[in-house]
Amino acid sequence: MFTLLSRSAGLKKFASQYGMRQNGFARRFIAGETIHEAIEVARTLQARGLLLALDYLGESVSTIAKASAAAREYTRLTEVIEAAGIERNISLKLTQLGIAIDRATCVDNLRRILEPAKRHNFFVRIDMENTPYTEATLQVFETLWQLDFRNIGIALQSMLLRTDQDLRRMNELGARVRLVKGAYKEPASVAFQQKADVDAAYVRQMRLLLDHGTYPAIATHDEAIIKETRAYAAERGIANDRFEFQMLYGVRRDLQNQLVAAGYRVRVYVPFGQEWYPYFMRRIGERPANLWFVIRAMMREK
Ligand code: FDA
């Protein structure tokens, strides 16, 4: 049912029309359509003792012109973020910068963002997308690393069968890894299909990162895994400032607050922009209960 709904043009039209209105249902997960709305949200998160990462939504652009426009927009946004005085930390996707069209263009676009970002002390995280782009994303990351950019990090997905290997590859570089379970539907040839297998891989990789990684980000809302991470860090004498937890805007605020109160570093990923629909649908797909809250909103508007 979810797959059907997610492909429905009617749902997309409804969501675009109502989702981001004042108190619209998409606002639970999306900070706004403009950078100024995102900055407002960022300020309230900082006031709660949270760290943040801003993500200007967009993915799978279809032309080189659009990819270059996204890079220009990111550069402009870093100036706005700097002027606002909030934390300088952004996340981006390489299909937004043209990796699916031309690798060299994508590298150029990323460089155009990273050069000013480096001068102005921004940290830039490269999100991990679906498996057609896993190896390409890692290679682009390594290219930029070889060009001496160190203000960058990468995300790896526990659900993929290849991730233990990729983790070692990133640990050898000394790169900062954000560990996530993985948000894309992938076939059994490349990914675990059972939640228990993904969770077991996540725990194994969390330990590898805490032992051998560089300031890893444990990005999950899974309470059991967070508990396991806390216990492992305590057992190994790993201080709270040697790693951070990360969560998504709108998900488990209670847990975010509890971790901050317990003295952990918690970063919230704050997505914004007009291209919010694919991101929003991934959040809905993760939890059937979320679908009902969209359906209820649709009933109210009818
Ligand atoms: P799991 O799905 O098992 O959920 C555990 C609990 O968290 C649930 O029981 C529920 O309470 C809560 N929860 C999880 N998702 C929820 C939702 N949508 N709504 C309400 N409650 C929810 N993925 C990717 O492929 N590439 C990437 O680059 C990133 N980047 C990224 C950054 C950050 C900071 C986070 C936290 C996550 C990502 N992800 C991602 C998404 C990630 O792969 C994964 O899809 C989600 O985090 C959900 O998985 P959990 O680890 O929370 O576990």
CATH code for the domain of 69: 3.20.20.220
Q: What is the pLDDT of residues 26-36, one digit of tens each?
A: 999 999 999 99
Q: CA gyration radius for the chain?
A: 19
**Residue 129 in domain:** yes
- 218 forms bridges with which residues in the sheet? 179, 245
Q: How far is the CA of 279 from the centre of ligand 1 (A)?
A: 12
For 117-167, the DSSP string reads HHHTT-EEEEP---GGGHHHHHHHHHHHHHTT--SEEEEEETTBTTHHHHH
Q: How many domains does the chain have?
A: 1
**Residue 61 in domain:** yes
Q: Which is nearest to 185 in space by CA: 128, 130, 126?
A: 130
Would you call 273 exposed, middle or buried from its count of C-beta atoms within 10 A (0-12, 13-18, 19+)? buried
**Residue 262 in domain:** yes
Instruction: Give yes or no: 127 in active site.
Output: yes
**Residue 301 in domain:** no
For 224-239, the DSSP string reads HHHHHHHHHHHHHT--
> Ligand 1: which of 180, 190, 283, 292 to mutate, judged by most atoms within 8 Å of the beta carbon?
180
Strand runs labelled E in 161-265: 176-180, 217-219, 244-248
**Residue 254 in domain:** yes
> Ligand 1: which of 221, 226, 279, 291 to mutate, judged by most atoms within 8 Å of the beta carbon?
221
pLDDT of residue 295: 78
Q: What is the pLDDT of residues 211-237, one digit of tens each?
A: 999 999 999 999 999 999 999 999 999
Q: Is the pLDDT of residue 23 over 90?
A: no
Ligand 1 atom, smallest distance to 247 CA: 36
pTM of the predicted model as reported, rounded to 2 decimal places: 0.96
Strands 152-157 and 123-126 come out as parallel
Average pLDDT of span 239-253: 98
* pLDDT bracket for residue 248 (50, 70, 90): very high
Place of tokens 């039209």: 13
**Residue 124 in domain:** yes
> What sign has the CA pseudo-torsion 32, 111, 215, 94?
positive
Identify whether the C-beta of residue 255 lies closer than 8 Å to the C-beta of residue 265: no
Q: How far is the CA of 183 from the centre of ligand 1 (A)?
A: 7
Residues sharing a CB contact under 8 Å with residue 22, sequence separation 6 or more, in sequence order: none
pLDDT of residue 297: 76
Instruction: Give yes or no: 178 in active site.
Output: yes
Place of tokens 């059991």: 224
**Residue 56 in domain:** yes
Average pLDDT of span 230-251: 98
Structural domain span for residue 176: 31-275
Lowest mean pLDDT: which of 6-15, 192-201, 245-254? 6-15
Would you call 234 exposed, middle or buried from its count of C-beta atoms within 10 A (0-12, 13-18, 19+)? exposed
Q: Is the pLDDT of residue 301 over 70?
A: no
Six-digit token pair at 147?
């060009």
* pLDDT bracket for residue 3 (50, 70, 90): low
**Residue 113 in domain:** yes
Ligand 1 atom, smallest distance to 248 CA: 36
Between CA 128 and CA 139 the distance in angstroms is: 12
pLDDT of residue 292: 82
